[in-house]
């Protein structure tokens, strides 16, 4: 029996992405029609019942977010779609943006209707230049067909979507950094409070959701919130797009019902990862992006849903699954992760800027066999301070991968102190300088 499910990806590859006719022929815009005959609060209740957890990585309950924004006074309200997709190992928003852009626009328009907002923004990362052009074509088609723009479907309701380009900053995927970037500033996150729902884009109340989250909204309205929830598990409904990469036979995007598969299925089932190539063994897997924890073979039978994973100290995050085989040294890998956060830190707060730098230096020492016992204490202090004192999610979760490895594979670190890591001894990488 197939473990995959084609809900969000049903139209992908089957339609011309910017064709409204194709989209409608495959059930598109029926949710928008339905929504515009409902009370906004009714729609919000459907989203709450659907138990849709944010698909960008933070997994914040979307229904709760919508309800909070609804109760805040102030006009105008803005709808913003986070299409910055910078989390390494994540390429699922790309699939939706490229292959079914109108579903995202439909979700945004429904949100616009709920909040009586007339302007939506989609912030697409600068590296997805061709996708920006394609998305603009989709917007233009929708406007021509009266599903966007002025007087949508003759209702008098107006909703415009503007594309704003990024320019290469992972931190712009952080919602307040993203809003700053739209406002022609640098993408350094804002001081919170006040929160974005109150003081968002141009200081107005704002909704920010991920691409996949918006794509879920038409599905929720079409089948009803309860039905959407029942596709998943009790506290997390619907399907999730997962992205497999690394040392696995089938790399790519797959759609799974939440809780419908285990980690073992994702990595080894021929429908998904198909196992490790070249006869290698699984060493570990990195879930949810660089800011997620690393899981190990002993945890493979965990169900892939938010609560089950959390019990194991793991998380869904963005849906990324990077598979590591036994030719990868965990310390080397952690060094790469640390290098990423060091490079992407906006730099304004001390724990993240200096902490990431020090952490990278310590991991570099481990990688080159120069670390000592004292470095465990350093890492512990850094991990504690960055997690509790950093200004935004980047610093706060930069050490998640490190923490999971210290918990489950402390012996790998010890092996490096003792100079006996088998992977490194086998394939010594010399001449690797500090990045900074």
Site for another protein in 359-388 (CB under 8 A): 361, 374, 377-378, 381-382, 384-385, 387-388
Binding residues among 171-190 for another protein as defined by CB under 8 A: 171, 181-188
Indicate which single residue of 5, 43, 145, 328 sits in contact with another protein (rule: CB under 8 A).
328
**DSSP strand pairing (294-295 vs 282-287):** antiparallel
Applying CB under 8 A, which of residues 18, 344, 403, 412 lies at the interface with another protein?
344
User: Applying CB under 8 A, what is the total number of residues that bind another protein?
Assistant: 89
* CA distance between the termini of the chain: 51
Indicate whether 396 belongs to the interface with another protein (CB under 8 A).
Answer: yes
Binding flag, residue 282, another protein (CB under 8 A): no
Binding mask 110-149 for another protein (x = CB under 8 A): ----------------xxxxx-------------------
Stretch that binds another protein, among 1-9, 63-71, 352-360, 409-417 (CB under 8 A): 352-360
User: Which window, 43-51, 214-222, 249-257, 405-413, contacts another protein (CB under 8 A)?
Assistant: 249-257
Among 162, 226, 310, 410, binds another protein (CB under 8 A): 162
Under the binding rule (CB under 8 A), the answer on residue 345 touching another protein is yes
- 198 lies in the site for another protein, by CB under 8 A: yes
- Tell me which of 353, 368, 369, 414 binds another protein, using CB under 8 A: 353
Q: What does DSSP say about strands 78-83 and 252-257: parallel, antiparallel, or unpaired?
A: unpaired
Binding to another protein in span 250-279, by CB under 8 A: 251-253
* Residues between 286 and 325 with contacts to another protein, criterion CB under 8 A: 286, 290, 320, 322-324
232 binds another protein per the rule CB under 8 A = no
Picking from 23, 15, 18, the residue whose alpha carbon sits closest to that of residue 133 is: 18
- Collect all residues with Cβ–Cβ distance below 8 Å to 183 and sequence separation of at least 6: 201, 202
106 binds another protein (CB under 8 A): no
Least gap, CB of 70 to another protein (angstroms)? 16
Pick between residue 198 and residue 269 the one whose CB is nearest to another protein.
198
Distances (CA, A) of 82 to 18, 42, 63, 122, 182: 20, 25, 17, 6, 11
Interface mask (CB under 8 A) for another protein, residues 57-86, using x and -?
A: ----------------------------xx
Are 50 and 63 contacting, i.e. CB atoms less than 8 angstroms apart? yes
Instruction: State in angstroms the smallest separation of the CB of 91 from another protein.
Output: 4
The nearer residue to another protein, 27 or 369, going by C-beta atoms, is: 369
Measured distance CA(62)–CA(212) in Å, rounded: 12
Least CB distance to another protein at residue 185 (A): 7
Residue number with CB closer to another protein (66 or 360)? 360
């Amino acid at each position: 029996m197939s473990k995959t499910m084609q809900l969000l990806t049903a139209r992908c590859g089957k339609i011309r992405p910017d064709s409204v006719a194709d989209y409608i022929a495959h059930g598109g815009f029926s949710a928008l029609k339905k929504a515009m005959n409902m009370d906004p609060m009714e729609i919000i209740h459907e989203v709450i019942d659907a138990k849709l957890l944010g698909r960008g990585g933070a997994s914040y309950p979307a229904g709760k977010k919508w309800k909070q924004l609804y109760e805040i006074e102030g006009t105008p309200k803005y709808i913003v779609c986070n299409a910055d997709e910078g989390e390494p190992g994540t390429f699922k928003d790309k699939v939706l943006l490229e292959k079914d852009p109108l579903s995202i626009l439909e979700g945004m328009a429904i949100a616009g209707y709920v909040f009586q907002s007339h302007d939506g923004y989609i912030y697409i990362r600068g590296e997805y230049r061709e996708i920006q052009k394609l998305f603009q074509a989709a917007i233009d088609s929708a406007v021509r067909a009266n599903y966007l723009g002025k007087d949508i479907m003759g209702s008098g309701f107006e909703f415009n979507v503007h594309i704003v380009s990024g320019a290469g900053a992972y931190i712009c995927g952080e919602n307040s950094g993203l809003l700053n970037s739209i406002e022609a500033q640098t993408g350094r996150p804002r001081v919170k409070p006040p929160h974005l729902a109150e003081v968002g884009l141009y200081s107005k109340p704002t909704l920010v959701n991920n691409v996949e989250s918006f794509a879920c909204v038409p599905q929720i309205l079409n089948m009803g919130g309860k039905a959407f929830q029942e596709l998943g598990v009790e506290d997390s409904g619907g399907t999730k797009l997962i992205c497999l990469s690394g040392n696995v036979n089938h790399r790519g995007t797959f759609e799974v019902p939440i809780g419908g598969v285990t980690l073992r299925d994702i990595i080894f089932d021929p429908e998904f990862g198909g196992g490790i190539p070249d006869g290698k063994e699984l060493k570990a897997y990195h879930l949810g992006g660089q800011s997620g924890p690393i899981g190990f073979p002993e945890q493979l039978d965990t169900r892939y849903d938010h609560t089950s994973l959390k019990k194991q100290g793991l998380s869904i995050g963005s849906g990324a699954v990077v598979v590591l085989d036994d030719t990868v040294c965990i310390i080397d890998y952690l060094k790469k992760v640390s290098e990423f956060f060091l490079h992407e830190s906006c730099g304004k707060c001390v724990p993240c800027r200096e902490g990431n730098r020090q952490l990278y230096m310590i991991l570099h020492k481990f990688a080159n066999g120069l670390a000592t016992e004292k470095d465990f204490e350093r890492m512990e202090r850094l991990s504690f301070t960055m997690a509790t004192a950093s200004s935004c999610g980047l610093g706060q979760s930069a050490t998640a991968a490190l923490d999971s490895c210290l918990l489950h594979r402390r012996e790998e670190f010890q092996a490096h102190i003792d100079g006996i890591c088998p992977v490194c001894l086998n394939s010594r990488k010399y001449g690797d300088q500090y990045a900074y």
